[in-house]
Structure 1
Amino acid sequence: SAHPNHSITMVRTEDEEPHRSDPVARFRSYLHGGTSSLLSTLPTIIVFPVYKTVFRQQIHNTLVSQTVSQLYKEGPVKLYRGVAPPLLMRTLNGTLLFGLQDTLLHQLSSSPPSIIPTSALPALAGLGAGVVEAVVFTPFERVQNVLQNGQNDRQLPTLRSVLIRLRSERLASGYYRAFLPIAARNALGSCLYFGLKGPMCAAVEGQGLSTTASSFLSGTLTSMAISLPLYPLSVLVANMQAQVEGEVHGLRSCWRMLWESRQRSVVLLYRGGSLVILRSCITWGITTAIYDKQERSASDFSL
């Protein structure tokens, strides 16, 4: 017989509570989040050149053809310089993001009734998970951006040299450079992802698609809706974190310098945005489909 799709609606009913309060069930969300992200690392490797192309556009404000030519001249070895941090971060990110959001959602759902609508709880839990995610992963992103900046190749040729250099700096200018825009981006992004994923999946599934296809499309469309409005924050973060030399400027000063360097043009600020959508469609579509399938299988087994 049919049963509610718990992983998609993300709303807990009274019948579910004994199951969801089980410590094993709580751990399962972390496991499924990590597994789904780990399995999506192959697309991450495949699209990494796309990601690196976008990154170079973000910090150098160049056309795609110019960036591709630059990367081609550097060779295949340097093309994948900086791929290790996002692979590690991707797996750990899924574990923390999905697991913590599920834990926070359980806490919010089991607390006394409040003025917050039940339908808004997944987004609220996602907001909290996004803030924690920023605290944990800002150092990973900082290392990744330093490695991907070709201007750092000579003075910081290895991962070890980058780690030593950042460790010698104060946290705010070293590992936690650009923490505030990262926290804002991740918190808003997670809030929107978990808030929109369920309704989006229900709408797509209502068109007659299979459950897995609906999960994939919901992840794709949701990530697309998130990537565009938050893209300027990613550009700001890339520009703030890519440099290790020179004067350290504050957030407002960095934004002003970025805006001036883009000739006060929104079009130039969004240069590379189409490639971000492509990357998000691939990785988050697959991750969402795998995670939801694991959750459905676990729910079917427990029932």
Structure 2
Amino acid sequence: MTRNLDHKQDEDGLRYPMVSFQSYLHGGISNLLSTLPTLIVFPVYKTVFRQQIHNTAIHQTVGQLYKEGPMKLFRGVSPPLLMRTLNGTLLFGLQDTLLCQLCRSSQTLMSIYALNSLAGFGAGMAEAVVFTPLERVQNVLQNGHNDRHLPTLMSVLVRMKTQGLAIGYYRAFLPITARNTLGSSLYFGLKGPMCDVVAGQGLSPLASSFVSGTLTSMAISLTLYPLSVLVANMQAQVGGEVKGVIACWRMLWKSRQKSVVQLYRGGSLVILKSCVTWGITTAIYDMQEKRSRGHTEEIDIEYKSG
């Protein structure tokens, strides 16, 4: 995301407090408005999840979900809907706050894109701390093998509580942290340059934001897909022997016959999910930010003329 530092600071080098608040607000609104697409593509997401943990072909996975019936198709949809709104608020808002602090204290010649990436890394770390429990609950609910002994959300929450934080709610915290920090860093670092390139092809600002968000998130999703598969397999199970990250990765790699093709099973559907959700989120957020910057410029002109 390209930032003009003059829009963030006044003559005394102090940032308008409202701009920081608006970044949190805009992030929450953009993800809230993308809730409907999230709901629509949830069956796609669930299909990918089943492929990740069962290593089945797409027609087998669809047949499995069809056999379970429509009532169970949206089992586990509540956590991702909640995560979408809260995630946007935290991720975009905190990244903007960290970016402001880095710009204010940095005496280096780092480009704004590099600072965006660094701020995204910090925001991704906070994101992992806050949302790992929600992702854990979501993955337990989506695993059809848990339907019998953990039939409701409340039963899952009670079970997680008895297992403690590390094994219960924060299972797979390390790979989630790696995925989120790298993903957020790449997203905020690449989105701006990508948008500039796309805009150079003559597209409107809204279309440029949508395409840049889609292409950036698509590349990130495919690059970090193995980590997502590892997380899904670590978090889907409840009880049994608890293994570390390295041991779980070895088991996963062995179960995929040491094949990259099998490891990426379901990866093509991630592209669809990224196109729908992050493309829309990016376009809405950038549109709000552009309007906010325009309003800030008007205040700045009035302030200077006064």
TM range (shorter): over 0.9
Alignment partner of 1:222 is 2:216? yes
For residues 216-274 of structure 1, the C-alpha deviation after alignment (integer angstroms, 9 at most, x for no partner) is 00000000110111000000000000000210111000000000000000000000000
Equivalent-residue separation in structure 1 for 2:206 and 2:14 (angstroms): 23
2:8 matches 1:16? yes
Secondary structure in 2 aligned to 1:174?
helix
CA drift at 1:179? 0.2
RMSD (Å) for aligned C-alpha atoms: 1.2
1:208 aligned counterpart, secondary structure: coil
Q: Give the AA of the match of 1:200.
A: M
The answer on whether the counterparts of 2:51 and 2:57 sit within 8 Å (CA) in structure 1 is yes
Deviation at 1:115, TM superposition (A): 5.7
Map of 1:260-279 to 2, 5 A cutoff? 260-279=254-273
Separation (CA, whole Å) in 1 of partners of 2:53 and 2:67: 18
**Does residue 148 of structure 1 match 2:149?**
no
Deviations 1:58-112 (A, max 9, x none): 0000000000000001111100000000000010000000000000000000114
Within the alignment, does 1:286 sit opposite 2:280 as a pair?
yes
What is the distance in 2 between the residues matched to 1:20 and 1:145?
44
- Distance in 1 (CA, whole Å) between partners of 2:43 and 2:67 is 14
The aligned runs of 1:228-267 (5 Å cut-off) are: 228-267=222-261
Identity of aligned residues (%): 72
1:91 maps onto 2:82 in alignment: no
Shift of residue 10, structure 1, vs aligned partner = 2.5
In structure 2, the partner of 1:3 is: none
Distance in structure 2 (CA, Å) of the matches to 1:278 and 1:225? 12
Contact 1:120 1:195 in 2 (8 A): yes
Q: Deviations over 1:170-208 (max 9, x none)?
A: 211100000000000000000000000000001000100
Candidates 164, 169, 178, aligned match of 2:158: 164
Q: Which amino acid aligns with 1:235?
A: V
Query: Of 17, 27, 34, which residue of structure 2 is paired with 1:33?
Result: 27
Q: Deviations over 1:93-148 (max 9, x none)?
A: 00000000000000000114036444310000000000000000000000000000
Give the letter for the 2:264 counterpart: Y
2: distance between equivalents of 1:69 and 1:20?
58
Which deviations, in whole Å up to 9, do the C-alpha atoms of 1:9-54 show, x marking residues without a partner? 13423x5312971221110000000000000010000000000000
Which residue is 2:121 aligned to?
127
* Structure 1 contact 20–106 (Cα < 8 Å) conserved: no
* AA partner of residue 217 (structure 2): S
Q: Does the 8 Å CA contact 2:253/2:263 hold for their aligned counterparts?
A: yes
> 2:3 and 2:162 mapped to 1: Cα distance?
43
Equivalent pair of 1:143/1:162 in contact (CA under 8 Å): yes
The answer to whether the 8 Å contact 2:96/2:119 transfers is yes
The residue number in structure 1 matching 2:105 is: 111
Instruction: Give matches, 1:65-104, under 5 Å.
Output: 65-104=59-98
Whether contact under 8 Å (1:37, 1:91) holds in the other structure is yes
Unaligned 5+ runs, structure 2: 299-306
AA at the equivalent of 1:12: L
Aligned 8 A contact 2:113 2:192 in 1: no
- The one-letter amino acid paired with 1:255 is W
Which residue of 2 is the match for residue 4 of structure 1? none
5+ residue gaps in structure 1? 1-7
Aligned to 1:49: 43
| 1:210 equivalenced with 2:204 (yes/no) | yes
The equivalent of 1:5 in structure 2 is: none
Question: TM-score, length-normalised on structure 2?
Answer: 0.94
Task: Tell me if the contact between 2:8 and 2:19 (Cα under 8 Å) persists in the aligned partners.
Answer: no
CA gap of 1:115–1:12, structure 2 versus 1, over 3 A, is closer
Aligned residues between the structures: 295
